[in-house]
Amino acid sequence: MKTIAIIFAAIVALEHIYFLVLEMFLWTTPKGIKAFGLKSKEFAEDTKVLAANQGLYNGFLAAGLIYSLIIENNNFILFFLGCIIVAGIYGAYSTKKIKLFYVQSVPALLAFILFMLS
């Protein structure tokens, strides 16, 4: 059970590294515009600084989770997974995009539950 929990948490961390790349470096590209359902290239250009800031925060979440996995500290792992769950819930609520909840919160919630059970 513990191995499965670690794998799920690692997937969540990798997912957030991907979010970092999308938001910090690919926001104004066709891939970034499509991934986030942006209105236009102009809108992407106007909001790229905000997106880069979001990406940086996703990087911090990934780094914290990876560090927690390396040092094998369950309390830190649960803390960072909890932060990701809350961020996904708030993101889905504030953007009115339920998909965000399923992409961000659900994997973190599964990892959180697996750690609690292991």
Map out the domains of the chain as residue ranges. 2-117
pTM of the model: 0.91
Tokens 């649960």 label which residue?
Answer: 78
Tokens 């965000």 label which residue?
Answer: 100
Residue-wise pLDDT tens digits, 61-89: 999 999 999 999 999 999 999 999 999 99
How far, in Å, CA of 60 to CA of 13, rounded?
A: 10
Phi/psi at 36 (5° precision): -105, 5
Band the pLDDT of 12: cuts 50, 70, 90.
Answer: very high
* 64 close to 108: Cβ distance less than 8 angstroms: no
**Around 10, how many Cα atoms within 13 Å sit in the side-chain half-sphere?**
9
Percent of the chain past pLDDT 70, that is, above it, reads 100
Band the pLDDT of 96: cuts 50, 70, 90.
Answer: confident
How far, in Å, CA of 99 to CA of 108, rounded?
A: 14
How far, in Å, CA of 90 to CA of 51, rounded?
A: 16
How far, in Å, CA of 7 to CA of 84, rounded?
A: 16
pLDDT of residue 1 exceeding 90, the answer is no
